[in-house]
Amino acid sequence: MSLIKALTEKPWEHKGVIGGLDPEGVFDTASEKVALVIFLVIASVIFSMFTVSYYVRMELPDWTPLSEPSQLWINTGLLVISSVLFQWARSTVSAGKQKNIMTAFIGGGVFAILFIAGQLLAWQDLQAAGHYVTSNPANSFFYLLTGLHALHLLGGLWVWSKSSIRLLSGGKTEDLRLSIELCTLYWHFLLIVWLLMFAVLSNT
């Protein structure tokens, strides 16, 4: 029996000093954080594939470059402020403080909502100028890339709204530490994606 036990033992499920009396799991990272990281890797691949397709498609003769509306600069500023506020919330909760946590976390989501509102305004301005989705391949890619980014942001806002409700209803900050950390990580990712995307759209 001892031989069978030795053969079926899974040493990779434990860590610490060999022979320790209180072994722990190898991974002490929350499963939600691992899941988010995996999702971000997948999202990065998706955005990368669309970017490559963008560069390949623009080489064809029917491509007419689109002049991006100036509203996008304002929107970029809004998203930067949103990300900064989330980082403020994360730093505050990591320090075990309560002051300004609601202002920082709620404010981060509000500025993200303003970013999406700004994107809608930019799309309306383009359509008013006759730049519709089907007018030109460049237009199609612009709406596709910015729309895909907005959808990812809306998904993050759904999670943010649930955490905000818990915070506003008197939930303990310590219990929301993981949610705040994950939201911050997600917003930083979306900010980086947007800055890269905006650079591509503005220079092509």
- Predicted confidence at residue 28, as pLDDT, reads 65
Token pair recorded at residue 141: 């890619």
- Predicted confidence at residue 109, as pLDDT, reads 96
Domain limits for position 140: 31-202
- CA distance to 1, 13, 18, per residue, from 4 (Å): 5, 18, 20
Least confident of 17-21, 50-54, 160-164, 169-173: 17-21
Instruction: Name the range with the highest mean pLDDT among 26-30, 64-68, 97-101, 163-167.
Output: 163-167
* CATH code, domain carrying 128: 1.20.120.80
Q: Is the dihedral of CA 190, 191, 192, 194 positive or negative?
A: positive
Q: How many domains does the chain have?
A: 1
pLDDT of 134 strictly over 70: yes
Within a domain: 106: yes
Mean pLDDT value across the chain: 85
- Predicted confidence at residue 97, as pLDDT, reads 81
- Predicted confidence at residue 27, as pLDDT, reads 53
Within a domain: 22: no
pLDDT of 142 strictly over 80: yes
Within a domain: 57: yes
The position carrying tokens 């705040």 is 180
pTM over 0.85: no
